[in-house]
Copies of this chain bind each other. A is one copy, B any other.
Amino acid sequence: MKNTYVAIMAGGVGSRFWPMSREVRPKQFLDMLDNGESLLEMTFKRFAQLVPEENIYIVTNQLYAQPIAEMFPQISSDQILAEPSRRNTAPCVAYVSYKVFQKNPEANLIVAPSDHLIKDEVSFGAIMQKGVDFVSENNSLLTLGIRPEWANTGYGYINFLQEEVSPGIHKVKTFTEKPDKELAKHFLQSGDYLWNSGMFLWSVEAIVSAFRTLMPEMADLFDDRLDKFNSAEEDKAIEVIYSQCRNISIDYGIMEKAENTFVVPASFGWCDLGTWSSLWDESDKDDKSNAVLGANTSLYDAKGNMVVSSSNKLVILQGLEDYIVIDTDDVLLVCKKEEEQRIKAFNADARKDLGDKFV
């Protein structure tokens, strides 16, 4: 794709996957599907089918810049954007957008999380092509919406107009936060709602323009230092910018406020792998619906469990149904699947009681 760049967002921890994901070993570095590749590697490879590798940027926390450089020896250090602190997605998107804008103001940019699963890569490529074609000709902020498969209450939704503005592209009516079960059912039935995937396509000109209009304070920070990008002074400029940046999401800061938001509906087998249950959904399972990652297991009277351990360990479970069993070197977690939203709180309790040892 001509003039197209990709920004992979890889700065999070994935704390809902604690204790497998850790500050020093975040979710996107993990071989979550037990196929020998981390989610970040899978994401990089997916985009490397679509654009030249030198057009792929990885935006991450400073903590992870070095391990990422080692993971991708083929890319230059300039392609790894190290954020000095976590400031949610708006500063992160601004950083990579301004950087590409400074380099090539004609460029298009695809922004994508590093930890999503895409099953049908051919259709994914076709959708990306369609999206890039659209944004290269229209001053628009395009999101990728996933046709909902069930009334998931863990995702944000996009309400769109049925009328196509271009083949397969629709105007966004509103973005909505995570709904309750009733509302999610209504969204599913109406046919007017899509899951918000967190993947975006735009020309850098369009997104920079959106920042200038909708988040002028943040835009000023970047515009004032535009000439530092792609220079030896970039890191220093970013230090200063981040120290003054608001902590705000791109959805809240830009997408929900912009007038020129569009969506391309897709159904290429997407999963954001946001929780253990979603990983269980996507994993191979035995005839008792147990999904096992990395461990030797002997399962007796055990059904519907998600089991993760190391291949050096023998895990024997008897009489467990619909549990998450995560065994790492220093933390063992056994928790009902239906209670997995409490894992963040368990992590917080551990931090409170035991300090940073298990974070």
Determine whether the beta carbon of B300 is less than 8 Å from that of A354: no
A: residues with CB less than 8 A from B are 19, 296, 298, 300-301, 309, 312-320, 323, 325, 327, 330-336, 339, 342, 346, 349-350, 353-354, 357-358
Once A317-B334, A318-B335, A332-B332 are accepted as A-B contacts, the answer to whether A346 and B312 lie under 8 Å apart by CB is no
9 contacts between A and B (CB under 8 A): A19-B316, A296-B354, A298-B353, A300-B335, A314-B350, A315-B331, A318-B333, A319-B336, A319-B339
User: CA A291 – CA B349 in complex, angstroms?
Assistant: 20
A298: B residues at CB distance < 8 A: 346, 349-350, 353
Copies of this chain, whole number: 2
Determine whether the beta carbon of A316 is less than 8 Å from that of B331: yes
User: CA A320 – CA B332 in complex, angstroms?
Assistant: 14
User: CA A23 – CA B309 in complex, angstroms?
Assistant: 24
User: CA A301 – CA B332 in complex, angstroms?
Assistant: 16
Nearest CB of chain B from residue A15's CB, rounded to whole Å: 14
Determine whether the beta carbon of B296 is less than 8 Å from that of A346: no
Once A300-B342, A339-B318 are accepted as A-B contacts, the answer to whether A312 and B330 lie under 8 Å apart by CB is yes
Determine whether the beta carbon of B330 is less than 8 Å from that of A327: no
Nearest CB of chain B from residue A125's CB, rounded to whole Å: 41
Determine whether the beta carbon of A346 is less than 8 Å from that of B300: yes
Determine whether the beta carbon of B358 is less than 8 Å from that of A346: no
Nearest CB of chain B from residue A290's CB, rounded to whole Å: 13
Nearest CB of chain B from residue A109's CB, rounded to whole Å: 41
User: CA A19 – CA B346 in complex, angstroms?
Assistant: 27
A350: B residues at CB distance < 8 A: 298, 314, 316
